[in-house]
Each structure stands twice: as structure tokens, then as C-alpha cells.
């Protein structure tokens, strides 16, 4: 077979298409940095559905950006005071500051539910304001529920001495959650009613995706 040299400019523009390039023929020596630098800049935080190209053990794969940064994330507060009796009472976080994945229900269930595709490790914190007296202290003041069952208890009973009319307590947990798992926050009064004050807040976000 006689080789033929094709002079520069001897190929009609756009004459070579994908069907004429061998599979796996495009490698790093054929890729210039302008493939990135010459492309329009995003100039904002990527959306959860934006995509990256990665090598997974030598196999090229597409990666949604949602697996890289902390989504979902939310902050919810109680818009008004709520009385808590000597029983487990779910707190009504009825106001949202933000909710990046629409995963927090602030209208009826007052819970965070893990969206599809967001299995991972999560961190949650409640900053709770209470008013009452020492006789109305909380036995297990903050109680975390997962899928309808109590899993974590924060004892903040102020009856160690004196009359405590108001105090602020926080509780933080981490949890391994799968899609459709949900988290709620309850309080339990040990000796009658006390008041959880409006402005009590709950924040949460995904730490890692596995």
C-alpha cells in the first residue's frame, strides 16, 4: 500500500466526523488546555444537576455535582411559642430560612425527608429556647426521631437548683440516612407544661454521600 501525504488544507472543512475517528484515539496529546480555558465560565455555584467528567478506575464516567457539595441543606424555625406537656410532643418548625432541595416539610409534618439519590451521612443541630420554671423542666428535653422512632435523647433538666425561668440548649446529632428516611424533633416535659419559644431553630445538611 502506497502512503499518500495530504497537504495542509487538503481536507475540506468538517469532512472528518466521529465515524472516521477510531475509538479511544483521542488522548491527552490531542487535547489542549483551551478545551477548558476557551469555554464560557459558569461564574456561579454549580447546580446539583450540573455534571463533571471523571475517570473512575480508568473508566470515564459522568458525575452529578450533587454528590460533591452539601446538598440538601436547610434551616427552619418555630414562628411562635409552643406548649409542651409531660409527653413526647413534636415541635412545629413552620418557617423556613432556606431549603436547598425542598426536603423539609414546614407546613404539616415538620420533618426532613431524604430525597431520592441523597443517601449519606447527615448532621443536624437544634438550638432550643425554653421558658418555664425548674418544676417544669424537661426530662429528655430534645428527642430526635428517625422514621417515627426515638433514637437520640438530650437531657437538659434545669432542676439542679433554683428556679430557672428561661434557658437555651442545643443538641447535635449525626445520622446515616437513605432515601425516604425522615427526621423529626420532639420535646418531653417531665412535670407538666413548659413553653418552647418561637425562634427555636433547626439546621441540617449532608456531610458526605456514602
Predicted local confidence at residue 183, as pLDDT: 98
Residue 139: inside a domain? yes
Pairing of strands 120-131, 142-146: unpaired
Q: Cell digits for 172?
A: 447535635
The answer to whether residue 167 is domain-embedded is yes
Cα 209 to Cα 119: distance, rounded to the nearest angstrom: 6
Each residue's pLDDT expressed in tens, for the chain with a length of 210 residues: 577 777 777 778 877 787 878 888 788 787 888 888 888 988 877 777 788 888 888 888 888 876 666 679 999 999 999 988 778 899 999 999 999 999 999 999 999 999 998 899 999 999 988 776 555 444 557 899 999 999 998 876 555 444 455 567 889 999 999 999 999 999 876 655 678 889 999 999 998 877
Hey, what long-range contacts does 25-31 have (CB within 8 A, 24 or more apart)? none
Instruction: Look at residue 9 and tell me if it is in a domain.
Output: no
CA nearest neighbour of 89 among 166, 194, 204, 203: 194
Domain tally for the chain? Answer: 1
HSE at residue 42, side-chain half, CA atoms within 13 A, is 8
Which grid coordinates belong to 50? 450540573
Is 60 inside a domain boundary?
no
Q: What is the pLDDT of residue 8?
A: 72
The one-character DSSP state at 132 is S
Domain presence at residue 37: no
Asked if residue 15 is part of any domain, the answer here is no
Domain of 123 in residue numbering reads as 73-208
- Would 147 be classed as within a structural domain? yes
User: 3-class secondary structure for 12-57?
Assistant: CCCCCCHHHCCCCCCCHHHCCCHHHHCCCCCCCCCCCCCEEEEEEC
CATH of the domain at 200: 2.60.120.40
How many Å is the maximal CA-CA distance in the chain? 102
> Is the peptide bond between 72 and the residue preceding it cis, with omega within 30 degrees of 0?
yes
Distance CA(93)–CA(23), nearest Å, equals 56
Domain assignment present for 144:
yes
Amino acid at each position: 500500500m502506497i502512503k499518500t501525504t495530504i497537504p495542509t488544507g487538503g481536507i475540506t472543512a468538517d469532512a472528518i466526523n466521529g465515524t472516521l475517528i477510531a475509538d479511544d484515539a483521542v488522548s491527552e496529546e490531542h487535547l489542549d488546555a483551551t478545551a477548558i480555558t476557551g469555554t464560557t465560565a459558569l461564574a456561579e455555584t454549580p447546580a446539583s444537576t450540573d455534571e463533571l467528567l471523571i475517570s473512575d478506575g480508568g473508566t470515564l464516567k459522568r458525575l452529578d455535582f450533587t454528590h460533591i457539595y452539601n446538598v440538601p441543606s436547610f434551616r427552619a424555625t418555630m414562628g411562635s411559642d409552643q406548649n409542651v406537656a409531660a409527653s413526647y410532643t413534636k415541635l412545629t418548625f413552620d418557617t423556613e430560612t432556606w431549603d436547598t432541595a425542598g426536603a423539609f416539610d414546614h407546613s404539616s409534618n415538620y420533618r426532613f425527608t431524604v430525597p431520592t439519590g441523597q443517601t449519606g451521612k447527615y448532621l443536624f443541630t437544634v438550638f432550643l429556647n425554653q421558658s418555664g420554671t425548674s418544676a417544669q423542666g424537661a426530662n429528655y428535653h430534645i428527642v430526635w426521631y428517625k422514621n417515627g422512632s426515638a433514637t437520640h435523647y438530650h437531657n437538659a433538666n434545669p432542676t439542679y437548683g433554683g428556679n430557672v425561668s428561661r434557658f437555651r440548649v442545643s443538641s447535635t446529632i449525626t445520622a446515616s440516612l437513605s432515601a425516604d428516611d425522615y427526621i423529626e424533633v420532639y420535646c418531653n416535659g417531665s412535670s407538666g407544661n413548659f413553653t418552647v419559644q418561637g425562634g427555636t431553630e433547626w439546621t441540617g445538611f449532608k456531610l458526605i454521600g456514602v
